[in-house]
Structure 1
C-alpha cells in the first residue's frame, strides 16, 4: 500500500511539473504595443535638417500587442528643444483605433536649433512603445530688398555711374563725391573689361577713368564681387528673404566682361550681401540696366 501511495505522489509531482513548464512556455516576452514611422519619399522618419518655417510630414503606424490584445488608448508627439519638452499631439484613441492606429501630421518648425521628436503609443495596460528622430532647424535667411531697373551710365554718359545699395540712389560724379560713404558700386565701360562693376577702392577704376575724380575721395568703400552661377530666373524667384551662401575668399574688387543675364554676388564693406542681375547693356554699351537684391 505504501508503494502505491509513493507512486501516486510521484505521478502528481510529474504532472505539476509539466503544467508549470507549459505555463512558462506561454509567458509573453514583450507585452508592449508597437509603433513605427511611415517610410517613403514624402515622409520624414530619420534625422533631418530644414530651414526655419519649413514643414515635414510625419506618418505613424501603431498596433496593439498581438498576444495581449490590449487596446490602444493614447498617442502623443512630444518635441524637446533646449531640454524643454512640449506636447504637440495628445490624442485619445477612438473605438476604431483601439487595435490599429495610422495617422499623418504636417509639422512646422519656426525656431532655430535642434528638436527631438518623440512619438509614443500607450495601451490599456499602460504598456508603451516609442520612436524618435532629431530635427535640426537652420536660419531661414535674411530679409532682403529688391530694386529693379536701376540705370547706370558709364563715365561718358549723363546718367550717374555710382550706386548706393543702402539708400538705392544713383549718383553723378559731383553727387558721389558728396556721398562717398554711401557709394558701394561703380559702373564703367572700357576696352579691357568691357562692361564692369567695381568698388570705389578698385585700382583700375581709380587710375584709368580720371573723370570719376576718385583721387579726390577720402572714403572708398571696399565692396567685393564674385561672378555667380545663379541664373536670371533664379534671381527673379528670390522673394522677401534669402539664405545667402558663404562669401568666398576668391572675391574681387570688380566684376568684368558682363553680358545680359549675368548675376554677380557682392558684399559691401558694411557686410551686406546681395546680387546684381544685368538686365540690359543696350547696344551702345555706355549705359546699363540692373536689378539689385541686398540684405536689409
Structure 2
C-alpha cells in the first residue's frame, strides 16, 4: 500500500515540473542606423528574444564579427555584400534555438564621369561621355539637355550630339535603391559659323578714288581660318585675318571672304565702288579763327591738309606742328587785316613758333601779284579735278602776299612745300569778338 502511494506522488511531481519549463521564443531586429544602407554602415541589433540564458552571435563581414552579449548594439560594415547574421540562443533547460537574418550592404555613391569634345566646340558638337563611377548594383539615369539622345538609362551612354549654340547640361543621377546622387556638367557649343567683314578706306583714300587702299576688319563668328579673294585687287588673294588691298582701277570690285572652321565654311561678299582719280582733295566748311580765337583756344587758325585737322594753340605739339600747311592770320574781329601766311613765318605774325614748320606759298591778292593769275570763284566751284590747278604759276611775290580786308567770297591760291597746288574759297567772315572766324572750302592736289 505505501509503495503504491509513492509511485503516485512521483508521477504528479514529474508532471508539474514539465509544465514549468522555459521556452525560447521571439526574434531579433536588425536595422540600418539612420536608414543608411551604403558603406560604411552601422547595423543596430535589438534583441526581442525571451527564455534564453546565453547568446552567441555571429556577424558575417561585420565588426565585431562575434558577440556573446544579449544586446550587441551596433555592428559596423565597411564592405559591400550580402551577409548572414546568426544567433544561437540557449537556456538552462538545455533548449537551443537558432535565429538567422540576411542583410544587404550597398555600395556608397560617388559619381565620377567625364566628357570629351571630339574635334571642336563648333556646331555640331560630338561628345564622348565616360562613366568612372565605382560601385555595383547602381541604376544610372542620364539627361542630355538639347542633345541627341536626350536621355539614356545605363552605365555607359552613347556619344551625344549637340547642335544648338549655347550651354548644355549633362546630368547623371545614380541610385542604389534607397538614395540618389546627381552630378551636372556643362558643354558649351559655339555659335554657328558666320562669315562677315567690314571695311574702310585708308585716311588718304576716303574719296574712293583710284588707287584706293581698303582696310578690312574681319568680324566672322566661330571661324578659325580665312580665304580672301579681291577682284582686280593687289593682292588678288590673302589668308590673313585682317588684310589690306589696293584697287588701282575705277569700277566695281568684289571682295569675297570664305571663313572656315573644322566643321563647315561660309562665303560673304561685298562690292567696292572705286572712282576715277581726280587728283583733287576737297575740304568743305572749315572754320579758321582769328589770332585771338586761336590763342584763346576757341577756334584754331591752323590747318593740316595731311591730317585734315584744325589746330588751336593748345593742340599743337612737336609731333604735329610739321604737318600744318595752312595758317590764317586775322588780326581783329572786324577783319580789317587778313592774310594766309606760311607756317614757317608764324612767329612774326602773332603766333608761337612751329617746330620743323613747312613753307607754303600763298597768293592772297591775285590782282596784285603781277604773275598773270586770275582764278575765279566760278572756276573754283566748277573744278572737279586738278587740271585747272596744273597750269597755275603760283610763286611768291610781295604783291600777292599782301593782306586783304573784309571782302568775300574770295579765292586764295597756294602751293605747299611738297609742290601741291591748291585754292581756298572764303565763303563767310563771322564777327563774334574773340571767337570770330572765317568759313572756307579748300581744293588741293593729292600729288
Question: What's the TM-score, normalizing by structure 1?
Answer: 0.46
Larger relative contact order (Cα-Cα within 8 Å, sequence gap ≥ 6): 1
Provide the TM-score with structure 2 as the length reference: 0.31
Higher helix share: 1
Structure number with greater Rg is 2
